Amino acid sequence: MDIAAGLLAAEGPQALSTRRIAAEAGSSTMAVYTHFGGMIGLVREMVHEGFARLQDHLTKVVWTDDPVSDMALLGRAYRRNALANPHLYAVMFGGFSPAGFTLSDTDRQHGRYTLVNVAQCAARCIAVDRFDPGDPELVAHRMWVATHGLVTLELGHYLLEPYDADRLFEAQLVALMVSAGDIPDAAERSVAESRRRLDDEVATRLPQH
């Protein structure tokens, strides 16, 4: 049942309709209501799954003795997850205008929970004197805001040549590390190291064939 819903989210954005899902599952529209209490309950469930999947991606990065490289890798994992499930990511962050869908405070808190990984990594960056002393949660938020902005514009096809998303992302990564206190040369090296680590550590299965 959830599988059918996930499949539909991957095939199309507004293919999420009670009748479409019912036809795909060989069932009736009532199934959606008995299991999820309506359409918005279903998308809420999918948002939860989306955050869980994001959490999976972020926890894949292992902590090395270069926390700045770890931090950059967290950003890469975040972006990779969003690009692997573009429609799901759009729904997670408000891309579901119809039916007055608004995610509850607990939902948002659940989403913000993924930030603890980043905050811990920021704390390690500060501990080894790569980042300036300060609030690790604040720098985690700054990383999140910038990366989310880039991913959002990339998914909306707003980032075109010659300022494509790849180039902007690389530049933004080192800029974020520098603005957090790291030395430009060191930041450049750590970001480059994270680029090498990406494919090994955070392998992404395609959005369900």
Partner DNA sequence: AAGGGTTTCATAACACCGTTCTGGTACCCG
Partner DNA sequence: CGGGTACCAGAACGGTGTTATGAAACCCTT
- Contacts with DNA by CB under 7 A lie at 16-20, 22, 26-35, 38-40, 99
d(CA 9, CA 3): 10
Minimum Å gap between C-beta 87 and DNA is 15
Per partner kind, with CB cut-offs from 5 to 8 A, the member of its own copies, DNA, none near residue 40 is DNA
Alpha helices (H) in 85-208, listed in sequence order: 86-92, 105-112, 115-127, 136-155, 165-180, 184-201
Instruction: By CB under 8 A, name the binding residues for its own copies.
Output: 13-14, 90-91, 93-100, 108-109, 111-112, 137-138, 141-142, 144-150, 152-153, 155-160, 163, 167-168, 171-172, 175-176, 178-180
> Among residues 83, 92, 84, 58, which one has the least CA distance to residue 205?
84
Per partner kind, with CB cut-offs from 5 to 8 A, the member of DNA, its own copies, none near residue 38 is DNA
Per partner kind, with CB cut-offs from 5 to 8 A, the member of its own copies, DNA, none near residue 94 is its own copies
Minimum Å gap between C-beta 98 and its own copies is 5
* Helices 67-84 + 165-180 axis angle, to 10: 150
Of 49 and 188, nearer to DNA (C-beta) is: 49
DSSP labels, 37-86: SSHHHHHHHHHHHHHHHHHHHHHTSPP-S-HHHHHHHHHHHHHHHHHHSH
Q: How many residues does the chain have?
A: 209
Of 98 and 133, nearer to DNA (C-beta) is: 98
Per partner kind, with CB cut-offs from 5 to 8 A, the member of its own copies, DNA, none near residue 155 is its own copies
